[in-house]
Structure 1
Amino acid sequence: MTSNLHWPTDEQTELILGNVPQPLDRTLIANIATAASRLDRIKAGKTYAEIAKEDGIPKYRVQQAICYAVLAPDIVRPILQGRQPIGLTSKWIFHHPLPMDWAEQRAVIASL
């Protein structure tokens, strides 16, 4: 049986059965890795403006992305395994900046 349903292009509906890992969210993983690299450059003395120029992006994008670099390790591990909460995506983090405090991050993510 074929379906003629047309799903919106910016949203997806997924059925997750049991404790089966989701496909890896490669966008979220890439954002975490990129942010970690940028944070390393900040720690090495680079400014947001210098990093933005090197990466060819606006300075505010560098500032926005840093939140991915300060995620608690116990939040990142499940992401790398495809076991993060279903609603935890790059798009969600972009619209709901997480606090820097790891305990507060855990509380916010637990509510997803």
Structure 2
Amino acid sequence: AKICNNMLLAILMAGTSEALALGAKNGLDPAVLSEIMKQSSGGNWALNVYNPWPGVMEGVPASRDYQGGFLVNLMAKDLGLAFDNAVTNQASIPMGSLARNLFQL
């Protein structure tokens, strides 16, 4: 269950970060966009609890120069475990594989 949950978290964090970056590039305030998405179909744990955009939410790693959060290398490890498990069990995880590649950068 842990690798499934962390794979989903990685996918959500990557997607949330991309959506906020796209909005910011188009002149939207990331804090306002976050509130809109929280109330819409894009709402997710990252927006509600662990917003990845600096300055949007106090006390989270993004607002502390990315210090003190779940370490990228630990997420990469869990994504590697999910990938290995998927290969062993012949499960297709295209989004999980993309997230794994991102967290290995």
Per residue, is there more helix in 1 or in 2?
2
TM range (shorter): 0.3 to 0.5
Larger Rg: 1
